[in-house]
Amino acid sequence: MTGIRDDWTFVVCDSLEKVFADQRPRPMNRDIPITAFAGESVSFQIAFLPPAAQSFDDVGAVLVEVGAAAAAVTEVASVDLVPCTLVAFEPHDDGWLRDTAGLYPDLLRPLPADGRVVPYLGQWRSVWCTVAAPPMDGELPVEVVLRSATTGRALFRTTVPVRVHPQPLPELDIVNTQWVHGDGLAGYYGVEVHSEEYWAILERFVGAAAAMGVNSVLTPVWTPPLDTAVGGTRRSVQLVDIVDDDGTYRFDFARLSRWMDLCRRQGIRHLEIAHLFTQWGAEHTPAVYVRSGSGTEQRFGWQTDATDPEYRRLLEALLPALRQELDRGWGLDRVIFHISDEPHGEAMLASYRAARAVVDDLLEGCTIVDALSDFAFYSSGVVEHPVVATDALDPFLAAEVTDLWMYYCVGQHTGVANRFIGQPSTRNRVLGSQLFRFGAAGFLHWGFNFYNAHLSTHPIDPFQDTTAGGAFLAGDPFVVYPGDDGHPWASIRYRVFAEAMADHRAMQALRDLAGTEAVLRIVDPDSTLSMTRYSDDPDHYRRVRAALTDEIVQRSS
Write down which residue in 449, 475, 491 finishes a domain: 491
Distances (CA, A) of 462 to 133, 135, 201: 31, 37, 17
CATH number, domain with residue 258: 3.20.20
Q: Find all residues with CB under 8 Å of 140, minimum gap 6, and list them.
A: 68, 69, 70, 72, 131, 133, 134, 161, 162, 163, 164
Report the distance separating Cα 97 and Cα 108, nearest Å: 19
CB-CB neighbours of 203 under 10 Å: 17
Give 455: exposed, middle or buried? Use CB within 10 Å, 0-12, 13-18, 19+: middle
pLDDT tens across the length of the chain (557 residues): 346 788 999 999 999 999 999 999 999 999 999 999 999 999 999 999 999 999 999 999 999 999 887 667 789 999 999 999 999 999 999 999 999 999 999 999 999 999 999 999 999 999 999 999 999 999 999 999 999 999 999 999 999 999 999 999 999 999 999 999 999 999 999 999 999 999 999 999 999 999 999 999 999 999 999 999 999 999 999 999 999 999 999 999 999 999 999 999 999 999 999 999 999 999 999 999 999 999 999 999 999 999 999 999 999 999 999 999 999 999 999 999 999 999 999 999 999 999 999 999 999 999 999 999 999 999 999 999 999 999 999 999 999 999 999 999 999 999 999 999 999 999 999 999 999 999 999 999 999 999 999 999 999 999 999 999 999 999 999 999 999 999 999 999 999 999 999 999 999 999 999 999 999 999 999 999 999 999 999 999 999 999 999 999 999 98
- Do 434 and 485 lie in one domain? The reply is yes
- Do 93 and 189 lie in one domain? The reply is no
Range of the domain at 100: 9-165
516 falls within a domain: no
185 falls within a domain: yes
Amino acid at 330: W
Query: Taking the model in full, what pTM does it have?
Result: 0.97
Comparing CA positions, the residue from 396, 400, 354, 356 lying closest to residue 376 is 396
CA dihedral 344→350→355→358, nearest 10 degrees, is: 150
367 falls within a domain: yes
- Do 201 and 233 lie in one domain? The reply is yes
534 falls within a domain: no
CATH number, domain with residue 69: 2.60.40.10
Write down which residue in 447, 465, 491 finishes a domain: 491
DSSP letter, residue 130? E
Write down which residue in 468, 491, 514 finishes a domain: 491
- Do 230 and 88 lie in one domain? The reply is no
* Per-position DSSP letters for 22-89, written without gaps between them: TSPPPPP-TTSPEEEETT-EEEEEEEEEPPP-SSGGGT--EEEEEEESTT-EEEEEEEEEEEES----
548 falls within a domain: no
- Do 213 and 134 lie in one domain? The reply is no
Q: What is the separation, in whole angstroms, between the first and last Cα of the chain?
A: 61
Report the distance separating Cα 173 and Cα 103, nearest Å: 37
Total domains, the chain: 2
- Do 150 and 259 lie in one domain? The reply is no
- Do 124 and 249 lie in one domain? The reply is no
99 falls within a domain: yes
Whole-number pLDDT of residue 1: 36
